[in-house]
């Protein structure tokens, strides 16, 4: 077994401090620091819509010689730190960061921290409740929030980020004249700027004095020692489907556990759906704050709708976990067990330190639901201890891995040519469309970039977008087995921000600035974006998909009357990594009997593939059962580190 203190191990070559508001000096060209402090050039502090007034004060700052004092105007108020130009946030994928800030206030309003990213939902949010309950006593208090709390609530910080707030403090109900002071806002990986060490909450060892299971939906295990029955009984405990957003649907196929499961069909008209489980009589939840627990539940669906779990607690606290990123599951109509450590919720400020009454202790929600979609659930429980090691059925590679996936080209004679996957509009089941008449097709102006034709659009409004979508499912799993690059050409004189939006399971957007900027000179320009830019933000393309934009271009601030032409949109195989790279390095892999132990100091996601690219394991635990692995050569991928190993 490898025992490592995560906070002591840092990935080399990536910054260990990310600064938003500190007085740190002499860090120019020091690779340990990523300096995001406002510079009045491309990084700014915004006080939103004059909802508060800021001054710099020098009386007893928390850090250095000064701090910022904000007087709120009442009601909704907020401030944010934002970057205009792309900044590489890869360090957040390699290091376990902790957000640090100091706050001093007597304001009694609820407060939360929101960090932004691209894609959906596009942010993560942590309330200053529960373990982050700041005494409103007018003295300085340090708040430290593990980034995992923001990731679970939807934040994706992996690659390039621009035009997003990397720190905000918000209240939705402040009282005019109240004062909030801030200082020392930065991110660290265990060692603070002042050299002191952050100590994470270490839960106690599993104790028989605390329940081993809390069952929310189960037919088995109830006769165990010291288990708690939280199943709906229609007397004191209830399962509610909210506002008829779904109805019970017939159950077909095997249950995940026991002989029964539940199946819901989402409404034919509504665009959200949710259900919750609640108790009308008090249930002691304090054990959740004393030792480790893991929320486990099984889901089965083919719907691509985004889903999250929300848990509610005392003092109006709540926390959510998106079933994407680390907690993503395949939408293949088969059962998948989802496992979420309770820390993920407590670290968002969920307050379960007491008896819970009328708070939903389990909910499953989609705020962008698909209509008439079925979702089955079973075996909802809280289990003492860490997640179990589970081996998922491998993802099957498609029979054909195309070299090129074409969206808008004039390529001919490719029928039955397996090197191509043709996603061009055909007026049958694949379409290109402009959103809400935000632009109109006009005559081509000058030569095409490729072939003879290039569509030309005249923009009608202050935002515009166009996209390509299919109504008959197309298998996108080639994207899980090969590295592709998105290629397209644009021609415009319009000075407007633009981003490419791709949808699937999850979605992602890449701004056309920085490496992907194009001159607005009325000439053709090619843009190449590696698909990793999108996948880093939580987009998953590994299954058949329909009704999703596999290419769209959007501007949220466009200029009516201007034109934009596009051409030659396709995805091509990255020539530098036709087969996903396997680089040998120091990663420690040890086999003992039927188990494999992989060093995973930074709590990265571990994937194990065979040389055909079939995934044999996916999870956080470095202790992996290999009894089901055939002998052969495998590739372990831990974060961005890969290593080949042989099982005999």
Q: Which residues bind Ca ion (CB under 5 A)?
A: 23, 61, 63-64, 67, 183, 219, 255, 257-258, 260-261, 378, 410, 448, 450-451, 453-454, 567
d(CA 290, CA 374): 37
Residues 6+ apart with CB under 8 A from 3: none
Our CB check for Ca ion shows the closer of 533 and 567 to be: 567
Q: Report the residue number, 113 or 380, with the smaller CB distance to Ca ion.
A: 380
Collapsed DSSP state (helix, strand, coil) of residue 116 = strand
Q: How far is the CB of 230 from Ca ion (least distance, A)?
A: 15
Instruction: Using the minimum distance from each CB to Ca ion, give the nearer residue, 116 or 567.
Output: 567
User: Which H or E run contains 43?
Assistant: strand 43-47
Cβ-based nearer residue to Ca ion, 257 or 343: 257
- The residue among 26 and 399 lying less far from Ca ion, judged by its C-beta, is 26
Beta strands in 505-630 (DSSP E): 506-511, 525-530, 544-545, 549-555, 563-573, 589-592, 595-598, 606-610, 615-619, 623-625
Report strand pairing: 336-341 vs 404-408: unpaired
The nearer residue to Ca ion, 188 or 482, going by C-beta atoms, is 188
Contact 630, 598 (CB under 8 A): no
Q: Name beta bridge partners: 617.
A: 608
To Ca ion, the closest distance from the beta carbon of 7 in angstroms equals 24
Phi, psi (degrees; rounded to nearest 5) at 7: -70, -15
Phi, psi of 249 (to 5 degrees): -120, 155
Burial 117-131 (b: 16+ CB within 10 A, else e): bbbbbbbbbbbbbbb
- Nearer to Ca ion among residue 277 and residue 448 (C-beta): 448
Shortest distance, position 258 Cβ to Ca ion, whole Å: 4
Minimum Å gap between C-beta 548 and Ca ion is: 24
Closest approach of Ca ion to the CB of residue 318, in Å:
27
Nearest Cα to 191, choosing from 200, 201, 203, 202?
200
| CA-based nearest residue to 382, from 248, 264, 290 | 290
Distance CA 460, CA 524 (A): 22
Report the nearest approach of Ca ion to the CB of residue 21 (Å).
7
Computed on alpha carbons and rounded to an integer, the radius of gyration of the chain in Å comes to 26
The tokens of 125 are what? 């949010």
Q: Which is nearer to Ca ion, 351 or 450 (CB)?
A: 450
What's the min distance (Å) between Cβ of 62 and Ca ion? 6
The residues that bridge with 185 in the sheet, in sequence order, are: 21
Residue 540 or 564 with smaller CB distance to Ca ion: 564
**Ramachandran angles phi, psi of 491, nearest 5°:** -145, 120
Nearest to 515 by CA among 525, 523, 503, 506: 525
Closer residue to Ca ion, CB minimum distance, 312 or 378: 378
Closest distance between Ca ion and the C-beta of residue 487, in Å?
A: 12
The nearest distance, CB 392 to Ca ion, in angstroms, is: 20
Nearest-CA neighbor of 111 among 21, 178, 164, 36? 178
C-beta of 350 vs 376, nearer to Ca ion? 376
Q: Give φ, ψ of 27 to 5 degrees.
A: -115, 5
Q: Write down the least CB distance from residue 43 to Ca ion, Å.
A: 17
Contacts of residue 423, Cβ cutoff 8 Å, sequence gap at least 6: 405, 406, 407, 430, 468, 470, 474, 550
Q: Which is nearer to Ca ion, 151 or 377 (CB)?
A: 377
Closest separation in Å from C-beta 22 to Ca ion: 6
Q: Distance of CA 132 to CAs 102, 145, 156, 435, Å?
A: 12, 8, 22, 43
In whole angstroms, the minimum distance from the beta carbon of 459 to Ca ion comes to: 20
């Amino acid at each position: 077994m490898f025992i490592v203190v995560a906070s002591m191990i840092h990935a080399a070559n990536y910054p260990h401090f990310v600064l938003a508001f500190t007085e740190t000096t002499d860090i120019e060209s020091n690779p340990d620091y990523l300096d995001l402090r406002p510079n009045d050039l491309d990084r700014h502090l915004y006080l939103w819509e004059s909802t508060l007034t800021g001054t710099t004060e020098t009386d007893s700052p928390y850090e250095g010689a000064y701090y910022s004092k904000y007087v709120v105007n009442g009601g909704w108020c907020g401030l944010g730190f934002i970057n205009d130009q792309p900044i590489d946030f890869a360090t957040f994928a390699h290091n376990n960061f902790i957000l640090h800030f100091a706050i001093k206030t007597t304001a009694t309003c609820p407060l939360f921290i929101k960090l932004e990213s691209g894609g959906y939902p596009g942010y993560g949010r942590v309330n200053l409740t529960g373990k982050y309950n700041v005494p409103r006593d007018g003295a300085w208090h340090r708040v430290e929030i593990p980034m995992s709390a923001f990731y679970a609530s939807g934040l994706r910080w992996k690659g390039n980020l621009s035009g997003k707030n990397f720190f905000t403090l918000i209240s939705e109900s402040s009282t005019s004249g109240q004062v909030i002071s801030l200082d020392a806002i930065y991110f660290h990986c265990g060692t603070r700027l002042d050299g002191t060490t952050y100590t994470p909450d270490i839960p106690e060892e599993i104790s028989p004095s605390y329940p081993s299971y809390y069952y929310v939906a189960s037919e088995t295990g109830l006769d165990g020692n010291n288990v708690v029955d939280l199943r709906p009984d229609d007397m004191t405990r209830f399962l509610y489907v909210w506002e008829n957003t779904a109805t019970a649907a017939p159950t077909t196929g095997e249950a995940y556990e026991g002989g029964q499961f539940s199946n819901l069909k989402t409404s034919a008209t509504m665009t959200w759906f949710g259900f919750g489980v609640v108790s009308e009589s008090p249930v002691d939840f304090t054990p959740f704050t004393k030792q480790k627990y893991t929320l486990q539940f099984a889901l089965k669906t083919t719907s691509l709708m985004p889903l999250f779990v929300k848990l509610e607690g005392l003092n109006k606290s709540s926390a959510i976990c998106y079933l994407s990123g680390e907690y993503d599951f395949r939408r293949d109509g088969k059962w998948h067990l989802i496992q979420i450590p309770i820390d993920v919720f407590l670290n968002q400020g969920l307050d379960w330190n007491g008896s819970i009454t009328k708070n939903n202790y389990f909910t499953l929600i989609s705020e962008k639901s698909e209509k008439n979609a079925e979702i089955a659930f079973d075996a909802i429980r809280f289990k003492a201890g860490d997640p179990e090691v589970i081996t998922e059925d491998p993802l099957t590679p498609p029979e054909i891995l195309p070299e090129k996936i074409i969206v808008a080209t004039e390529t001919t004679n490719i029928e039955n040519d397996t090197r191509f996957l043709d996603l061009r509009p055909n007026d049958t089941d694949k379409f290109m469309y402009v959103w809400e008449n935000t632009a109109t097709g006009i005559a081509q102006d000058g030569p095409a970039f490729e072939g003879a034709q290039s569509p030309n659009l005249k923009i009608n409004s202050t935002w515009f977008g166009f996209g390509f979508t299919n109504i008959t499912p197309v298998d996108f799993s080639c994207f899980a087995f090969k590295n592709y690059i998105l290629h397209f050409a644009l021609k415009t004189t319009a000075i407007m921000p633009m981003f490419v939006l791709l949808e699937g399971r999850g979605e992602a957007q890449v701004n056309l600035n920085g490496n992907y900027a194009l001159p607005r000179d009325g000439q053709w320009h090619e843009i190449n974006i590696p698909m990793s830019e999108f996948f880093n933000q939580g987009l998953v393309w590994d299954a058949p998909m329909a009704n999703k934009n596999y290419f769209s271009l959007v501007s949220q601030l466009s200029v009516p009357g201007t034109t934009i032409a596009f051409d030659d949109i396709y995805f091509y195989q990255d020539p530098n990594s036709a087969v996903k790279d396997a680089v040998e390095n120091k990663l420690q892999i040890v086999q003992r009997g039927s188990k494999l132990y992989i060093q995973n100091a930074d709590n990265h996601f571990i994937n194990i593939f065979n040389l055909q690219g079939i995934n044999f394991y996916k999870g956080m635990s470095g202790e992996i059962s290999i009894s089901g692995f055939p002998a052969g050569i495998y590739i372990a991928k831990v974060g961005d580190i890969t290593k080949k190993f042989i099982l005999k």
